Structure 1
Amino acid sequence: MAAQRKHYFKNQLHHAISAAIFSTSLVVGAGVSSLTFADNTVQQETREQVNIAAGNLGKTLTDIAVRHHISLSFDPALTQGLKNKAVSGNFSPLELIDALLEDTGLIMTANQDGTYRLMDQSNYTLSGLAVSAEQIDDSVLTEYKGGQIESGGRLGVFGEQDSANVPFSVVSYTNKAIEDQQLESIAEVLASDASVQSGYGYGNYSEKFMIRGFELDSDAISYGGLYGILPRQVVSTNAVESVQLLKGSSAFLNGVTPGGTGIGGAINLEPKRAEEHLTALTLDTTAEGQVGINTDVARRFGDKNQWGVRVNALHREGDSAIDNESREENSFSVGVDYRAEKFNVSTDVGYQKQIIDNGRSIVYAGSALTQIPTTPNAETNYAPSWADSELETLYGMVKADYELNENWTLNAALGANKNKEFGEYSSPTVTNLDGDATVSRLTVPYESNTLSSSVSLLGDLTTGEVTHQLNAAYSGFVNKTYAAYTMSGTSNTNIYDPADVAYPEVNLYAGGDMENPHIRSKTDAKGLSFADTLGFMDDSILVTAGVRYQEIDVNNYKYDGALDTAYSDTATSPIYGIVYKPSDTISLYANHIEALQQGEIISSTASYSNAGKNLKPYISKQNEVGIKFEDGTLGAGAAVFEITKPQAYGEDGGVYDYYGEQRNRGLELSLYGEPLDGLRINTSATWLDPKLENTKDGTNDGNDAAGVAKYRLVLGGEYDLHTLEGLTLGGKIIRSGPQYVNTSNTLEIAPWTRVDVSARYESTIAQHDVTWRLNITNVMNENYWASAAATTYVNYLTQGNPREIKLSLSTEF
């Protein structure tokens, strides 16, 4: 068929048309449009060396037609779901299109007027519909074959960027990856990346991440580039189009995070958009009886398909794999967008409510321990039956961009969040190797409100032979928190043989109004930034230089609402980066970033003389060099880096303050894509040397930072079985190295290995395409301490989840 198609194509070359100028005239009729050009035939016959990455066939063809002024029309349904293979060599633009159409079942034919159209090779008659501007995928990211990984992501003030063009390491996991692996939380998604370690937050159920060995709290995950919009503890994935991971310091790009975490990396979530008509339904269940239903509906309408609506709804409830623990989740989101020639606007509104009953949280390491106790059985629940939490969030975001002219674009975004939580938390403090422990009750009503905004001006200019990508941006947020608490005395239990202790009614400690919590903090962070990426030698060398002015104002209040402490600080921080591309597939890069970070809040129950206060903001620094290979079929990267931040210490009765620094040096390797037809891989490795330096009195100089695994390895992949069409088998192996539980390095958790497996089968029922998915995490039901963490005054452990078997059935109408 390929030979026949080439022969047919060559017989039509004399009809070659093209254009010297993109006339920008869109011929519109009945919602159908085509691109027309003036004549420039010589350009269409000129051969040049090209390297085209594998990707979305319709988008690739449209990009080539626009770039080379070829009038090409086709019915978008022809290319829906089709991927082009990677192509390299000497081609004229018309020959390149022919090469991309190989093995697709499509051919390009010439019309009598010198224009071109795509045809189904098995049916040479076609209605002649043309692709409309609204149906063109304008994503700048390279989607790797299989559709689960994209190279690049949103880089704050720089907008969405392909990884090959920026001096940072960034990768995105798509909604297809989320669906195929039945991933219900952000931690489950990022378990596929060795640079990320996850666990629970301090005494609750929030997801806490370690990226390159530094903390990132769940409330520091951005949404469309805005901080403070998403639910605070756990974020559902059902309305997420992609989970974008930036490895390395991001404060210049995104501004200060809520809480000041995120020195080692950033996570951004992009909402789903209505790209085409869709009505999808997914039913899921687990071996323990948890059942869920998820609907996903998208529509585009208007005479030019300029309007789009995407609605997602999820309900899931039932027992988890942990003994006696149950969870309920309700999530609903609506995304509306309008797309015009120069103006785009979108609105996203979401609601999420999660209820956790008898929830297993963390285990505190008692001060008398000389080593870490053996991990309990994976299913063991050492939380009392009354331990629970209710998490409810309403959030929204409006974004718009306007093309001022061909060189300048103005972007703006505004988002808000209202978060309400009520938890009765209880985590054991283990006191000896026999597992004896004490538990108490901490009851906390918590509320927070956040308003976040950004404005940026992006320019694309050329001075002489140097290109400039300019951006000037403002970003900021205002966050207010409200809380109260009561705390009981302790009861005895054992983490291996837990006692279901009675609910302790007596409160030994209390603060605030439990029915109407007073304000506890107000954080106002804002920053201005300017950066220029200069391109030399046809953009084979890209040099980025920028500066950010950051201001942080923090007020802390007592539980009665009276002002306690306040501070304000500013900093001007630089960024430098360079990318050198010796070829279209290889990028060498380096960066230096300095950033102002918000100081941590010292727990009001800590034994320090400045308990309840805020530490001042501090400066973190990063240096990184790396190499990337990306051709759309395979992506690979290697990076070495050093990140430093001040380290805080304190002694009972003394002042908790900065006395030294944590210096993480590391090496990252990654490989992903489809090296062989039907074989998709995603593997990565990270080695870290997290040292403490200049500590107070030199006590911990040279020790490792607590909670940082020395290494992590992830080997993942899947394979389409040719012997049974529609069946895909996959799996993932995670190996995590040892990590210390405390800064004195006297307590350490052992390395661990987890194995996950999966199967996916695509078939047809009643003329509807359906997909069956089976995923089993922790196949061997291993008992292991997944991570450790050190807070201002206590160290704790998060246990790995037991084996969980998930089954789902999805269909589209």
Structure 2
Amino acid sequence: ALGNGLTFPAAPDPKKNGLGQAYAGDDNHTLTAGLRLRHDFDGNWQGEVGVLRQIADRESTGVTNTFTDRAGRYTTTTSSSTASRFTINSYMANLNGEVDTGSIHHQIATGIRGFVWKNMNPLHGATSTLGSASLERPSRFERPDYPDFSNRYHSATATQHAFLLSDNLQFSPQWSLLLAGSESLLSSASYAKTGVRSSESSNSGFSGSASLVYKPVDPLTLYLTWADSLQQGDAAPSGASNAGAILAPYRSKQTEVGAKLAVNRLLLTAALFEIKRPFAYTNGSGDYAVDGEQRNCGVELMADGDVMQGVHLYGGMTWLDPRLFDTGSRATQGKQVVGLARYTASLFAAWDLPGLSGADLHGGARYVGRRATDNANSGWVSGYTTFDAGAAYQTRLMNTATTFRLDVTNLTNRHYWTNIVPGGLNGYSGAGYASASLGAPRQVQLSMQLDF
């Protein structure tokens, strides 16, 4: 993480001893139980209902190295205050079928769904300083006295219930219109360690979308989509003064125009889009709060399929212009959003080896452009490119479908910064400015998969 006014130095080797602490990290246990029932009423109308219960217990003891100067010196802290249990109860019910009204064919879907999400935090969770070191001379520190993570308090609850209806109207083989809407009821509440409710919010609203689709010729599809959505707000991360609190619901708006072209066994897609949504981050006062609007304008190109016999291609590129507006500050007005690159691209290819049935060679490359590390764009992290390669062989062992794989990721062992965010994610214990993670080094993995 960064101290105030600092920028990230060149990324060190993530395998260097002392950059992390052996006892730190996450010890997670998740129990998920669900039941879903489907019924076909008459071959045309189908229904389904489902319920799910999830309990996620987490012992988060991550450490954060916060730079204190431009020479790579840092202070190491650890946090045990992030949520140690999530419980989620959710449900859903759907009914869908098809009807005709005159010359218009309708594909109708309706349903309800919702959840109750509760957060529990360690009662005695805290942030503590382990010591100081530098990138040149990392240090190992003694394990602190972490709290009992099962001794926790109820810190927040969020609920959402939605009623949905959609209709795909097919006017002709060339024209169709998809209309979808939902009415959502949202609420959130935060609680202090004493059990007293410290904040609450509730909202209800309509979310809608419409997609107009036109097929001038069979392999080409053109579409125009608009959406206005209400969604639950983010939870304040560890390190914020209101950690664990759930913000009021967000409303986001999106417009997209695009095309899809099928050429033999290759699908090509292109999309131009704009998305607007509230922007939340940990501000200078230490509070995680909404302060401004994020607008993402971009172009996305994708390709997926066989470019020739035995050669499969998957990849694409995105040009993105993510900007902040209505921040109330000249320093941040119109600036690029922290951690988001303007250019990203990836390409993956697989070649079926001739003469050796079931065997293939595959490889790929991924590029991410430079990213801002503060809302005023005074600091940047350089872009990076990584390469992967591997091989796979499908056969049968004891009459069981078996696949052997050998994969090498980050082939050139590139050192780079990734996951850059304003403030920090769960387990963060820095000073409230931008944080980042070290990209994974070169890794080799050999696996065998059996399909019974």
* Fold match by TM threshold 0.5: yes
Q: Secondary structure at the match of 2:329?
A: helix
1:718, 1:406 → 2: CA distance? Answer: 40
Q: 1:590 to 1:804 in 2, by over 3 A?
A: same
2:31, 2:294 → 1: CA distance? Answer: 37
Q: 1:443 to 1:636 in 2, by over 3 A?
A: same
What is the letter of the counterpart of residue 195 of structure 2?
Answer: G
Aligned-pair distance for 1:628?
0.9
**Deviation per residue, 1:753-777 (Å, 9 max, x gap):** 0000011234577887654321100
**Deviation per residue, 1:441-484 (Å, 9 max, x gap):** 22246112111111122121011110011122111001111111
State the match for 1:243 in structure 2. Answer: none
Which consecutive unaligned segments of at least 5 residues does structure 2 have?
425-431
**1:527-538 alignment to 2 at 5 Å?**
527-538=162-173
2:371, 2:236 → 1: CA distance? Answer: 24
Which consecutive unaligned segments of at least 5 residues does structure 1 have?
1-363
Does 2:206 align with 1:566? Answer: no
State the match for 1:798 in structure 2. Answer: 437
Q: 1:738 to 1:443 in 2, by over 3 A?
A: same
Q: 1:764 to 1:456 in 2, by over 3 A?
A: closer
CA contact (8 A) 1:393 1:418 kept: yes
CA contact (8 A) 2:97 2:109 kept: yes
CA contact (8 A) 2:281 2:423 kept: no
Aligned-pair distance for 1:690?
0.5
Equivalent position to 1:375, from 8, 11, 27: 11
**Deviation per residue, 1:786-806 (Å, 9 max, x gap):** 231113843111211011111
2:323, 2:219 → 1: CA distance? Answer: 35
Identify the structure with the greater strand proportion.
Answer: 2
1:659, 1:589 → 2: CA distance? Answer: 33
State the match for 1:596 in structure 2. Answer: 230
Aligned-pair distance for 1:426?
1.0
The structure with the larger Rg is 1
State the match for 1:387 in structure 2. Answer: 24
Equivalent position to 2:70, from 419, 429, 433: 433
CA contact (8 A) 1:556 1:566 kept: yes
State the match for 1:478 in structure 2. Answer: 116
Q: Secondary structure at the match of 1:441?
A: strand
1:755, 1:373 → 2: CA distance? Answer: 23
What is the letter of the counterpart of residue 406 of structure 2?
Answer: L
What is the letter of the counterpart of residue 57 of structure 2?
Answer: K
What is the letter of the counterpart of residue 40 of structure 2?
Answer: E
Aligned-pair distance for 1:612?
6.4
Does 2:373 align with 1:741? Answer: yes
Equivalent position to 2:154, from 505, 515, 519: 519
**TM-score, with structure 1 as normaliser:** 0.51
2:402, 2:290 → 1: CA distance? Answer: 57
Q: 1:654 to 1:706 in 2, by over 3 A?
A: closer
Q: 1:654 to 1:698 in 2, by over 3 A?
A: farther
What is the letter of the counterpart of residue 516 of structure 1?
Answer: N
2:220, 2:37 → 1: CA distance? Answer: 34
State the match for 1:808 in structure 2. Answer: 447
Identify the structure with the greater helix proportion.
Answer: 1
Does 2:126 align with 1:491? Answer: no
Aligned-pair distance for 1:631?
6.0
1:398, 1:550 → 2: CA distance? Answer: 24
Aligned-pair distance for 1:604?
7.4
Aligned-pair distance for 1:698?
3.5
**1:195-344 alignment to 2 at 5 Å?**
none
Does 2:213 align with 1:579? Answer: yes
State the match for 2:256 in structure 1. Answer: 624
**Deviation per residue, 1:491-535 (Å, 9 max, x gap):** 112234310012234x8xx9xx75421111111111112221110
Aligned-pair distance for 1:651?
5.0
State the match for 2:91 in structure 1. Answer: 453
1:604, 1:379 → 2: CA distance? Answer: 26
Q: 1:719 to 1:599 in 2, by over 3 A?
A: same
Aligned-pair distance for 1:542?
1.4
1:810, 1:667 → 2: CA distance? Answer: 37
Equivalent position to 1:662, from 287, 294, 297: 294
1:809, 1:734 → 2: CA distance? Answer: 26
**TM-score, with structure 2 as normaliser:** 0.90
Q: 1:543 to 1:517 in 2, by over 3 A?
A: same
2:341, 2:391 → 1: CA distance? Answer: 30
CA contact (8 A) 1:378 1:782 kept: no
State the match for 1:398 in structure 2. Answer: 35
2:355, 2:287 → 1: CA distance? Answer: 68
1:611, 1:446 → 2: CA distance? Answer: 13
2:107, 2:414 → 1: CA distance? Answer: 50
Question: Percent of pairs identical after alignment?
Answer: 28
Aligned-pair distance for 1:704?
0.4
How many residues were matched structurally?
A: 441
1:398, 1:694 → 2: CA distance? Answer: 45
1:377, 1:537 → 2: CA distance? Answer: 59
State the match for 1:754 in structure 2. Answer: 386
Equivalent position to 2:326, from 694, 698, 722: 694
CA contact (8 A) 1:624 1:640 kept: yes
CA contact (8 A) 1:621 1:644 kept: yes
CA contact (8 A) 2:84 2:150 kept: no
State the match for 2:106 in structure 1. Answer: 468
Q: 1:632 to 1:451 in 2, by over 3 A?
A: farther
What is the letter of the counterpart of residue 398 of structure 1?
Answer: L
Aligned-pair distance for 1:375?
0.3
Aligned-pair distance for 1:615?
3.1
Q: CA RMSD in A?
A: 2.5
What is the letter of the counterpart of residue 265 of structure 2?
Answer: T
